[in-house]
Amino acid sequence: MEKDMVAGLIIKNKKVLLVHNTKHNGLRIEPPGGKKKAEEGWRDAVVREVSEELGVEVDPVKFFGAYNTNSPEGKFSVHMYFCDIISGKLSVLEPKKIPSFAWYSYDELEQLSKSKILVPNMRQALSEIRKYL
């Protein structure tokens, strides 16, 4: 069964904010996000997930796209939104799962994509994301 997921694309100074996720035995680099609860809307899920992971409140200003991916953890439908930070300070709130975060340029994303450390939905969206970085 496909899992509904959300991800927030936060862009500043031609760089995108990505978290370093160590939850699944190794490092994955991905946008902040996670599972959508059955009772919540897509935008509400993005707001909740980004807040839980990074301690900031975001406004999901625009739907970016939906990407279907397969991984060892299962099948996912990831709905991505452009988000603006509206309050709070970026912080590591779940250090065992997400020990750090960083801002990445398009060239850096390309390198990460080649190494497969970048999650599949970001690799799929890379050419479209380039327009914004």
Q: How far apart are CA 53 and CA 99, in angstroms?
A: 10
Strands of the chain (E only): list them: 3-12, 15-21, 28-30, 33-35, 56-71, 74-88, 100-104
Where do the structural domains in the chain lie, given as residue ranges? Answer: 3-132
Is pTM beyond 0.75? Reply is yes
Nearest alpha-carbon partner for 23 in 124, 112, 119: 119
48: three-class secondary structure by DSSP: helix
The 10s digit of each residue's pLDDT in 38-90 is 999 999 999 999 999 999 999 999 999 999 988 777 899 999 999 999 999 99
Say whether domain 3-132 belongs to CATH 3.50.50.60: no
